[in-house]
Chains A and B, each alone.
Chain A
Amino acid sequence: MKLKKREAILGYFYISPWLIGFLIFVAGPMIASLYFSFCDYQLLIPPKWIGINNYVRIFSDDPLFMKSLWNTLYYTVGSVILGVIGSLILAVLLNQRVRGETIFRSMFYLPTLTPAVAMAILWGWLFNTEFGLINRTLARIGIQGPAWLYSTEWVIPSFIIMSLWGIGGSRMIILLAGLQGIPQELYDAAEVDGVNWWTRFRYVTFPLLSPSLFFVTVTGIISSFQVFTTSYIMTSGGPANASLFYVLYLYRNAFEYFKMGYASALAWILFIIVIILTLLQFRLAGKWVYYGGQ
């Protein structure tokens, strides 16, 4: 009995850094921000309880909220769908017992190593309307390129294109590991049956890879939803708020307008959206993710 108590004390001792951090930096702040979200809190004046007013205003009287939410959804859908397809293609190519796999994999991964700020600077320059490499190349084949970051229609497609630069990143490595985990016998059996590559992909690769695909899709959605640095640096949300993403709008409310209460309400809405999206994914997973036999 005494020994058990000693073990428990030691256990708590070892996890105490996390426990303290959790209370100070996670649990406490979550409760606080939930409370602030029901307050008028302008930083210099103490928070004043105003009930659900912040939420009412967000949903009924804040066009920028809807705008930023829409922009973020647009970006998320585009970058996740195209990004997962792109990563999957690269992973399938690399999985063909390629000689020099490590070299190709490294080259595919290099873009992901680029810090977000450097990436924003590089791509801002590529997208430059007048001197940018993209429009210059388009001009060479007789196409007048759009104004990219200066165009309300093209600014989000620009961000999606930029996000595709990372298709060879962590997502591809996870998918590649998933592909390499598929037993060779299954492919051999398919070969004996003489099926074509699509049937093989559809009935062997896809079901066995679906847990990995599911994972990269969920994490992709969550991280795309939090896009911030690139839009802050490249467009500051412009032109005409066409690239005002959700977290950028939240950041402005909190740290530029110092509307801490309002920003907290925005943060909780973000949190709820992330939870709903994740749960929805898990619901949908039952329909296409295969968890058998492993």
Chain B
Amino acid sequence: MKKNIVSRVLLYLSLTVISILLLIPLLWAISTSLKEPSQIYTEHSPWIPNPILWTNYTEVWKVLPFATFYINSLIITIVPTIGALISSLLVAYGFARFDFPAKNILFYAVLSTMMIPSQVTIIPVFLIFKSLGWIDTFYPLIVPSFLGGGAFNIFLLRQFLMTIPRELDDAAKIDGCGSFDILRKILTPLLKPALATIAILTFMGHWNDFMGPLIYLKSLQKYPLALGLRFFQTHYGGIVGGTAHHNLLMSAAILSLIPCFILFISAQKYFVQGIVMSGLKQ
């Protein structure tokens, strides 16, 4: 019994220590983001800033077109997320509920695209968008999502659809529903948890994307946060000397991760479910 208590204490102790260790980089960034420069570049920089400069968080919006970056990020994240939802839903429905020649081969093709590193296709895809005159527009970052919506998402929705009994479809069909109405009125409401999972994972993926915007966007007013932060870092205090503004850089970085944190906290259940599903595709 005594041994049990000791091991319990050790367990919670190690969990707490690990949590703190993992949070330190974030806490240190928050601490730095609230300091004045004189407190940053010294060997005894304190954990608690004195004074606490909340104004760093308003300053960021002035030294940079930070609001523009934020809006751009939201556009190139939300629109593709909607595209991926609609498109993967249609495709998954096609694979789950209809019979057509070469269906299995095509579904294997869907699955095998998950293995292809994007670098293999990136150059020709870039050339396609270039020939369309879409460089420095949002189209290259948005349009592909409407065409397929991601192999994993299709797979996930198809798996969910397979578990919904076909009798539901048949009953609706007898009531005179067309195939699209069945999807829209009967199946989509049942797929809500899976759709929430897809929405969240797709949102995060696009919000974090760096290489896509780096390749396609050229002008500052089109930059999303990822590129804006990079720009800020190279111009206002990168790692290599220069004028140092690490407090502003850190507050910008913190501001960029807020939407992901909010999303995670508000929809944790769907999040975990989606990740576990991704582990099941073996």
Question: Judging by beta carbons under 8 Å apart, are A173 and B276 in contact?
Answer: yes
List residues 171-202 of chain B with CB under 8 A from any CB of chain A: 179
Select which of A17, A121, A274 is within 8 A of B91 by beta carbon.
Answer: A17
Given A26-B113, A113-B257, A121-B233, do A106 and B147 touch, yes or no (CB 8 Å)? no
Which of A15, A94, A168, A216 has the largest count of B CB atoms less than 10 A from its CB? A15
Question: Judging by beta carbons under 8 Å apart, are A212 and B250 in contact?
Answer: no
Question: Judging by beta carbons under 8 Å apart, are A117 and B261 in contact?
Answer: no
Select which of A126, A177, A247, A268 is within 8 A of B28 by beta carbon.
Answer: A126
Q: Inside 8 A of A114's CB, which chain B residues have their CB?
A: 26, 257, 260
Select which of B19, B45, B127, B148 is within 8 A of A131 by beta carbon.
Answer: B45
Question: Judging by beta carbons under 8 Å apart, are A20 and B147 in contact?
Answer: yes
Query: Mostly helix, strand, loop or mixed at chain B's interface?
Result: helix
Whether A74 is near chain B, meaning CB under 8 Å from some CB there, is no
Interface size on B, residues (CB 8 A): 88
Select which of B98, B126, B147, B282 is within 8 A of A21 by beta carbon.
Answer: B147
List residues 54-96 of chain A with CB under 8 A from any CB of chain B: 90, 93-94, 96
Whether A244 is near chain B, meaning CB under 8 Å from some CB there, is no
Q: Inside 8 A of B167's CB, which chain A residues have their CB?
A: none
- A238 vs B153: C-alpha distance in the bound complex, in angstroms? 37
Question: Judging by beta carbons under 8 Å apart, are B229 and A215 in contact?
Answer: no
Which residue on B lies nearest to A125, using beta carbons?
B246
Residues of A within 8 A of B (CB): 4, 7-15, 17-22, 24-26, 28-30, 32-33, 36, 90, 93-94, 96, 98, 102, 104-111, 113-118, 121-126, 128, 130-131, 133, 136, 139, 149, 165, 167-168, 170, 173-174, 177-178, 211-212, 214-216, 222, 225-226, 228-229, 232-235, 247, 250-251, 254-255, 260, 263-264, 267-268, 270-271, 274-275, 278
Given A108-B19, A174-B276, do A17 and B87 touch, yes or no (CB 8 Å)? yes
Whether B1 is near chain A, meaning CB under 8 Å from some CB there, is no
Question: Judging by beta carbons under 8 Å apart, are A14 and B25 in contact?
Answer: no
- A124 vs B29: C-alpha distance in the bound complex, in angstroms? 11
Whether B268 is near chain A, meaning CB under 8 Å from some CB there, is yes
Question: Judging by beta carbons under 8 Å apart, are A268 and B239 in contact?
Answer: no
Question: Judging by beta carbons under 8 Å apart, are B117 and A104 in contact?
Answer: no
Select which of A118, A174, A255 is within 8 A of B229 by beta carbon.
Answer: A118
9 residue pairs bridging A and B, Cβ less than 8 Å apart: A4-B99, A12-B100, A22-B148, A24-B147, A29-B124, A114-B26, A117-B230, A136-B43, A263-B123
- A74 vs B182: C-alpha distance in the bound complex, in angstroms? 52
Whether B128 is near chain A, meaning CB under 8 Å from some CB there, is yes
